[in-house]
Amino acid sequence: MRIGVMCSGNGTNFENIIKVCNKDEVVIMIHNKKNCGAAERAEKFDVPHCYVNSKDEDTMIEMFQRCRVDLIVLAGYMRIIKNPNAFPAPMINIHPSLLPKYKGLDAVGQALESGDVITGCTVHYVTKELDSGQIIDQSVVPICPDDSIDTLTQRVQNAEYRLLPMVINNMAT
């Protein structure tokens, strides 16, 4: 399966996809921040990458078409995709909450402040509506009484590192 990845930040989920899934599967990574950590990780692993302004979806679509991607993975891509149906392959996203709870930004903080005893992460299909696409799979993370935003974020990220490659591998079969 030929995977295209979209990133905005540090790129830890992107790197994890490269390491856990077959490296040759990741054929391109598009980032919407010029100097993000994900671009450095792409260089490190010799994955073709480029900066594309998040408003320029036509260029993204064209690049993914040229690379003949079978799947597009949003791995820390922090922008809403305006027209996901125009992209040439199914598009999935990893989100740090048990959707439909806590859509959008600061999901871990919202879960921590809510008094919930569990949170987690969700892989879902991308639609026009923020974090509202069909859920593919989820992973539960307990919220401990002594959790801080940092400790809970780290445990949710560890769950993401397990869940996202598992979903990708399941989609490849």
- Residues acting as catalytic residues: 95
**β-bridge mates for residue 49, sequence order:** 29
SS3 98: coil
* Dist. CA 11–CA 87, nearest whole Å: 22
Residue with tokens 């991607």: 69
Q: Which parts of 52-134 are beta strand (E)?
A: 71-74, 91-95, 118-125
Q: What is the dihedral of CA 116, 122, 124, 130, to 10 degrees?
A: 50
Residue with tokens 């909450």: 97
- CA-based torsion, 92, 96, 100, 106: positive or negative: negative
Contact 63, 86 (CB under 8 A): no
If we measure between CA atoms, which residue out of 162, 163, 142 comes closest to residue 151? Answer: 142
